[in-house]
Amino acid sequence: MPSYTLIAPAKINLYLEIIGDRPDGFHELAMILQSIDLADQIDVRAASTDSIRVYCEHPQVPTDKSNLAYRAAELMVAKFPDAFSKYGGVEITIKKRIPVAAGLAGGSANAAAVLVGIDLLWKLGLTQSELEELGATLGSDVPFCVAGGTVIATGRGEQLSPLPNLDTIYIVLGKYRSLEVSTAWAYKTYRQQFGNTYIRDTKDLAARANAVHSGAIVKAILKKDAVDIAQKLHNDLERVVLPAYPQVLQLREVFAKQAGVLGTMMSGSGPTVFALVESHQQAEAVKLRVRDEIPDEDLELFVTRTITHGIQLTVNS
């Protein structure tokens, strides 16, 4: 049976600003998303049955219809019924390396990989923008995960403007295994606490979202200046997540005081905290020193780096 193996990278948010409420009930956001080389591996295989099957050994990842990868396959079946009857069912195997419910878009990356994998399996020849459009119906981060790189994301996070590729920046990531932050909870709590600061007028909302294009962090990215980028990191959701999760705040403080760390921030709705670091050697040293200061085995630490791509094909058989 034909099969494709895809690499599905995680993302971090270099910037996340909550601007206001959209008429569709979502938040209007201005974000800078960055792919990193911490990635899941997704195998997409033609099955001899006419069903969708998801396999994943990670205890926190469901294998039923609530898996975003499953929903991506279901979407392809609904959109391309002729291809489905011609080629039959699909088996999806997820090798999870991206921490789950971590603010790293792990589920979205898996869904993006399934869209790309089924496109190949069924020889549909979809363009990147067609894949992104399909992805947007599954979740706001899915379109970004298809192409990856460094991107300004506005609207719900699905309107993408690519930025030039960054030179490699090394990163140390920390995530407590047993700590999960619900994205829905983080946004709801932010609305309760800071909704009074939201921009209300639709025109002003769009103007504010556009302003990110000429903002300080985008200028730093255009200059490829890692020190400046690190100083301009921003995440509005820290205002609700850090007070509610003291461990996350402590981890952020421990990262911030390490030599070689250029800047540190929580990613997305957390609880992952990342630090941008001067060099690979420094990143390995920071990881060891943080481990010494927080000897809790529940804390997972990774050294990773920025990359310039999203979903990538590795094996084609």
Binding site for ligand ATP (CB under 6 A): 60-62, 66-69, 94, 100-108, 110, 141, 183, 268-269
Give least dist CB 44 to ligand ATP, A: 13
d(CA 151, CA 292): 35
Which residue's CB is nearer to ligand ATP, number 183 or number 210?
183
Q: Which is nearer to ligand ATP, 180 or 228 (CB)?
A: 180
Q: How far is the CB of 10 from ligand ATP (least distance, A)?
A: 7
**Nearest distance from residue 156's CB to ligand ATP, in Å?**
12
The position carrying tokens 């990356």 is 109
Q: Which of 26, 242, 58 is nearest to 141 (CA)?
A: 26
Any catalytic annotation for residue 21?
no
141: annotated active-site residue: yes
Using the minimum distance from each CB to ligand ATP, give the nearer residue, 94 or 172: 94
Q: Which among 11, 175, 232, 287 is annotated as catalytic?
A: 11
In angstroms, give the least distance from the CB of 18 to ligand ATP: 14
Kindly compute the dihedral angle of the four CA atoms of residues 304, 135, 118, 37, in this order, to the nearest 10 degrees.
0
For residue 50 the two structure tokens come to: 């006419």
Q: Give 223's DSSP letter.
A: T
Place of tokens 């034909």: 2
Return d(Cα 59, Cα 39) in angstroms, integer.
Answer: 18
Active-site hit among 43, 119, 141, 236:
141
Of 14 and 226, the one with the shorter C-beta distance to ligand ATP is 14
Task: Concatenate the DSSP letters of all residues of 37-72 into one string.
Answer: EEEEEEEEEE-SSSSEEEEE--TTS--STTSHHHHH
Q: Is cis: bond before 62, omega within 30 of 0?
A: no
What are the catalytic residues? 11, 141
